[in-house]
Amino acid sequence: MTITVELTRFRVAADRAQALLDARPAMLTDFAADRAGFLGARLIRLSDDEWLDIVDWRSPEDFAASRAKGANLPGIAAFFAAIDELVSMEEGRQET
């Protein structure tokens, strides 16, 4: 089985980190309800202001469809609003 892995690195000001964490559960709920092929996600704090979001998708097409939707639901919009700067976004495959 192969899954598509989204790796998004971003910065959040230290005074907004709690807002990011508070918004996370609703964002995951919205993704599960609205994004076909969403398998799960892990949020990793790399430093005081830098984070890595690792999101698993069933296929590259599911990931592309999610990106096209953007912040279309309130939980997703609140999470994205806490982000100050996008550092990088990559897509890979996990072979199992």
Angle at Cα 41 formed by Cα 11 and Cα 2, nearest 5°?
120
What confidence tens digit (pLDDT) does each residue in 18-53 have? 999 999 999 999 999 999 999 999 999 999 899 999
Q: Which two tokens stand for residue 55?
A: 């999101």
Distances in whole angstroms, Cα of residue 92 to Cα of each of 26, 44, 62: 25, 17, 13
How far is Cα 49 from Cα 59, in angstroms, rounded to an integer?
Answer: 30
What confidence tens digit (pLDDT) does each residue in 49-93 have? 999 999 999 999 999 999 999 999 999 999 999 999 999 999 999
Q: Which CATH number fits domain 2-95: 1.10.10.10, 3.40.50.920, 3.40.120.10, 3.30.70.100?
A: 3.30.70.100
Say what the pLDDT of residue 96 is: 77
Global pTM reads 0.94
Domain edges within the chain: 2-95
How far is Cα 83 from Cα 78, in angstroms, rounded to an integer?
Answer: 9
Please, what is the end-to-end C-alpha distance for the chain in angstroms?
A: 5
